[in-house]
Amino acid sequence: MRKDKVSEPMDGLERLIDLEAGCLSRRVYWDSRIYEQELEKIFARSWLFLAHESQLPKPGDYVTAYMAEDNVIVVRQKDGSIRAFLNTCPHRGNKINFADAGNARTFICNYHGWSFGIDGALRGMAGQELFEESGLNREDHGLHPVAQVATYKGLVFGNMDPDAPPLSTYLGDFRYYLDVLLDMDGEGTEFVGGCVKSVINCNWKVPVENFIGDIYHALWTHDSAARAMLGGPVAEVYKDPDSYHVNFNGHGWEFNLDTVGNAATLGDKEIRKYLYRLQPEVARRLGELRSKMIGSISSAGVFPNLSFLPGQNTFRVWHPRGPGKIELHTWTLVNKSAPADIKDRWRKGAMMTFSPSGVFEMDDGENFEFSTRTNAGFVTRQQDLYMGLGRGTQLENSGLPGNVYRNQVNEANHRAFYQRWLDLMQSRSWSEVPQRDSAQLSETAFEYETDAKEAI
């Protein structure tokens, strides 16, 4: 099968970002050539979120997902493993599966009747004997597989690049923080309700920046919404001495240690009570510090485009649809062991706050759109943006893994994100990507599932 040659990195990318000065060119938000390079250099070789295992309990269960603009089918196999395939027929390219989720024994293209097993193999087609007489080998024309599929504590990721490092290496020490969300009591997590889809006219990096470490905006943008949900303003966090920015390999998490600050914005006291009851068990399993993070004022993201809010429990992927448009897919993540009433309260709370009509998301969506659209002006795009907040705040002996910075009102995670972005954009292969962040914790520090690697 033909494989396109990897394109050379764009010239001058290093001039778009000055991390020491904290400057960023506005071109990164609107330049179509940069966007095309992102599809190849970022999305075609990064680990991307595909599904939660709770969506695929039985063999034949599937969901359709996106890896940037590539649509894929994610399906549980008969042996219990999970595989993923491009959702396109190798005959004439028609989309094969149009449902968001379901259970299937085969996938059949409605154009010419080509039929594929849940393992991606071509099983048959209308007029099969004519194709056989023409020399077609069915083994060569199955669904194109996603090169690697692996899980971490219920989250299913895929990578189109067979040479990419394993998921455990990609996530690295960031798993220490992911466990705050995914492993509170050892019983795992699940999605409740369905997937909410919406379209926002913005560059995909704008909301990623927002979630990866921008608590700064919440004190202004979300003040009225917070007052409505809390009965008062968001707590003052500008100079909280017990708050942090942490990042690893471009993933980022900003947080304080108030236990339930994010959860409180849902306006439901029962959810706060649940988290306080759960905290001693989290402290026993994960330590006192992480037990104070479970619902605290915080936001986080896994490079490149997966974001979530602990406590508010909105879990989302920003799928690019060109340099100025995204399709947002959102779920509500809860502890599997939580009482049914608490799960439902969380689902309703997430809808009230972070959905297309949510009191916080409406604020964000407008900012995201104008932070993209305004940058296209000819004179405007000659002016660099500033992202230098928090320079000189790195903590060398914090005792926490990853790169740790003082104060969650910071832009350290933004700079780390763009360093990773630049490293990938300037590299022809994973072997050329600089290894800037080394794991501090041994593999035995994590209780994680073995990577299930599927090679092409």
210-221, pLDDT tens digit by residue?
Answer: 999 988 787 777
CATH class of 173-445: alpha beta
Residue 374's pLDDT band (cuts 50, 70, 90): very high
| Residue 423 known to be catalytic | no
Tracing tokens 């000065």 back to the chain, one arrives at 21
Residue partners of 434: CB distance under 8 A and separation at least 6: 423
Mean pLDDT for the stretch of residues 220-235 = 70
Helix ranges restricted to H, 151-291: 167-171, 175-182, 205-213, 218-221, 223-230, 261-264, 269-286, 288-291
Residue whose C-alpha is closest to residue 76's, from 108, 118, 121, 120: 118
**Residue of 31, 52, 70, 222 with catalytic role:** 222
The pLDDT, as a whole number, for residue 439 is 85
Helices (H) and strands (E) in the chain, counts: 14, 21
**Residue of 163, 217, 223, 341 with catalytic role:** 217
| Residue 414 known to be catalytic | no
| Residue 141 known to be catalytic | no
Tokens representing 376?
A: 């296209």
User: What's the pLDDT tens digit per position in 313-335?
Assistant: 999 999 999 999 999 999 999 99
| Residue 4 known to be catalytic | no
Mean pLDDT of the chain: 91
The pLDDT, as a whole number, for residue 4 is 57
The pLDDT, as a whole number, for residue 453 is 32
**Residue of 183, 258, 364, 437 with catalytic role:** 364
Strand, coil or helix: 336: coil
pTM: 0.93
Residue 128's pLDDT band (cuts 50, 70, 90): confident
Percentage of the chain modeled with pLDDT above 70: 94
**Residue of 70, 214, 363, 437 with catalytic role:** 214
Domain edges within the chain:
48-149, 173-445
Mean pLDDT for the stretch of residues 424-432 = 96
The pLDDT, as a whole number, for residue 141 is 83
Percentage of the chain modeled with pLDDT above 90: 74
Mean pLDDT for the stretch of residues 262-281 = 95
Tracing tokens 């400057």 back to the chain, one arrives at 23
Tracing tokens 């020491």 back to the chain, one arrives at 20
Residue 448's pLDDT band (cuts 50, 70, 90): very low
The pLDDT, as a whole number, for residue 12 is 84
| Residue 52 known to be catalytic | no
Residues of 349-362 as b/e, b for ≥16 C-beta within 10 angstroms?
bbbbbbbeebbbbe
Tracing tokens 């001039």 back to the chain, one arrives at 15
Residues of 29-61 as b/e, b for ≥16 C-beta within 10 angstroms?
bbbeebbebbebbbbbbbbbbbbbbbbbeeeeb
pLDDT at 3 over 60: no
The pLDDT, as a whole number, for residue 357 is 85
> Domain 48-149 maps to which CATH number in 1.20.1260.10, 3.40.50.620, 3.60.110.10, 2.102.10.10?
2.102.10.10
